[in-house]
Copies of this chain bind each other. A is one copy, B any other.
């Protein structure tokens, strides 16, 4: 493909994208296809000769769109939001054109340096303690990971390396396998599934501890578990506190947990994947009080801060244990400036990395902090609008508390009734929700996801829930 054709093709795609997003509300949010739908529509193998871009473009609408779940429809309320914004899309275009692999400073200095500064900008927007920022001149600093799952794993591996380093310092002949077999990490039973997975991947025990009635991990539960494990000869080394759980958006009290972790020499990782974006608004920072106790902090601008996936921001007070955990340093990756700037390959699981800091730079500059704050506040206000609708109908109840953009709710009554309602809602295809279940209580989760969501969308979503509840309840009635 020549440059001239590219310009035509890409500009056609720009128009397609603008029109797709302008009219996304009109598409059914969930596709009506069965597994295997696409194979039947595609040739069995790649073409020998090039096709026309116009044909590919036509097939996007003909073959792909019928199988797309439209995450940016205002009627998509499943999971948590994933970001999508025009500035981020344009930044990614530039990233694709430069297409450098920023594994070391020399591999593209701008790629590393913009990331260092953008993570400082972002840390300041959240009022992170200065020890986390590179601009403070200390050891700390930030990095863009692909996902929160990777951040949780990287922190766990850093914590593991720290324990092993200390054990070697005390006894150079220590049996490392013996140490590893005794390591134990902690999170709440409400932590994201990727925390449990990080334990599996890292080959260490990871206990999921019970929470209080508000689904928060409390200091006493953590302290009891640590004490009991030490009595059994185990080595507590890592704890994950969640700010904004996936099931119900509960916030673990960092102030309490942080004191325990610091006293016990346990690495505290804070997973604020979804809710972290809200901390750019001062009025929500009370939810991260105690952050100064943490060793590492992570949230996903690619969820709720209008930076397209993937962009998971992680800060470390002392990256040295992470860096040394992964450090293999072949000659072909060495360079003369090593040590005077981060070589980010040592901070992450993969070797390669794209120029993702461009997305942060474009989004910060083209929205400005004020508009990013407005986005968060507007989405939280919409969640409260939905909450009010639910509360206005005595057949329903709110589960937990609406703090951010997530509303957990249920029909008063059995889990089965609510399962029936959810199946009916998703089957009807106008809106899309996923459920959750905590301590035998099944409920529906409605997340405000799309940046296009307006009051009338919330009204429509509520009307959909209410009218399908009418149906379900009518069918439940004796005599039917």
Contact = CB atoms under 8 A, between A and B. Distances in A.
Nearest to A438: B331
Interface in A402-438: 434-437
A186 interface: no
Contact of A332 (B108, B121, B337, B445): B445
B350 A150 contact: yes
A89 B329 contact: no
B107 A436 contact: no
23 contacts: A3-B22, A9-B90, A10-B14, A10-B17, A31-B108, A39-B113, A44-B124, A46-B121, A49-B370, A67-B111, A68-B110, A69-B106, A70-B100, A79-B332, A82-B100, A89-B93, A146-B146, A146-B350, A149-B352, A157-B201, A197-B328, A200-B326, A201-B326
Interface residues of A, number: 141
Q: Is the interface of A mostly helix, strand, loop or mixed?
A: helix
A238 to B, nearest CB: 14
A82 B67 contact: no
A166 interface: no
Interface stretch (A287-295, A361-369, A382-390, A392-400): A361-369
Contacts of A308: 96, 99
Nearest to A33: B109
A18 interface: yes
B96 A89 contact: yes
A13 interface: yes
Contact of A366 (B53, B82, B196): B53
Nearest to A360: B46
A474 interface: no
Contacts of A337: 34-35
